[in-house]
Structure 1
Amino acid sequence: MARIGCNVINCSHNDSGICYANKISVNGKKARTSNHTCCSSFLDESTYSTLTNNTNDDGPCNIIGCNVKTCTYNAGNICALNDIGITSSVGRANLYSETYCSSFKCK
């Protein structure tokens, strides 16, 4: 089961630093650095405050989709790592484009 450490404090899927979305998707097709990636599953808790309590599974996220073709860990659009980190380039993200995968490694 995948574990996603999440430092995006205002994401509705973040529960004490762990992502509890059913699945996430990391994007950034031509990324060369982690800052060129993003977690497109980010949802601001001010609008979507109860999603963490409404996931289908009883645990952390277990599917990490990866659309970053330049990432070493992309294995057929699924992340090959068991644990990744998602963080933000700002204190409180407003858009998914203000998040990134800190585990990204360019091929």
Structure 2
Amino acid sequence: MARIGCNVLNCSHNDGGVCYANRISVTGKKAHTSNHTCCSSFLDQSTYSNLTSNTYTNGSCDYIGCNVKTCTYNANNICSLDNITITSNADAANLYSETYCSSFKCK
């Protein structure tokens, strides 16, 4: 099962630093650095409350979609890593574009 670490403290899916969304999708089609990627599944907790129990399975997110064609770990639009970390440079991200996949590695 995939484990997504989440350092975006105000994400609705974050529960103690672990993502509990049903699935996530990392985007950034022509990314060359991790800062050019983002987690399009980010939802601001102030708007969407706490969604940490919003999974189909019992536990954390188990599907990592990857639309970053330049990432080494993209295997037919699925991340081949078992563990990734989503983070943000902002203290509190307002938009998904303020998040990024720190596990990204450019081909």
TM range (shorter): over 0.9
Partner of 1:59: 59
**Contact (CA 8 Å) 2:40, 2:97: kept in 1 or not?**
yes
Matches within 5 A, 1:24-103: 24-103=24-103
Q: State the distance in 2 between where 1:34 and 1:16 align.
A: 23
**Contact (CA 8 Å) 2:73, 2:80: kept in 1 or not?**
yes
4+ long deviations beyond 6 Å: none
**Contact (CA 8 Å) 2:33, 2:104: kept in 1 or not?**
yes
Identity fraction in percent: 78
> Gapped runs of 5+ residues in structure 1?
none
> Gapped runs of 5+ residues in structure 2?
none
1:7 aligned partner, one-letter code: N
Q: State the distance in 2 between where 1:56 and 1:67 align.
A: 22
Shift of 1:55: 2.1
> For residues 47-73 of structure 1, what are the alpha-carbon distances to aligned partners after superposition, in whole Å with 9 as ceiling and x for unaligned?
111311232221110000000000000
Q: State the distance in 2 between where 1:68 and 1:8 align.
A: 20
Q: State the distance in 2 between where 1:91 and 1:26 align.
A: 20
Q: State the distance in 2 between where 1:66 and 1:39 align.
A: 9
Q: State the distance in 1 between where 2:40 and 2:54 align.
A: 19
Q: State the distance in 1 between where 2:96 and 2:79 align.
A: 18
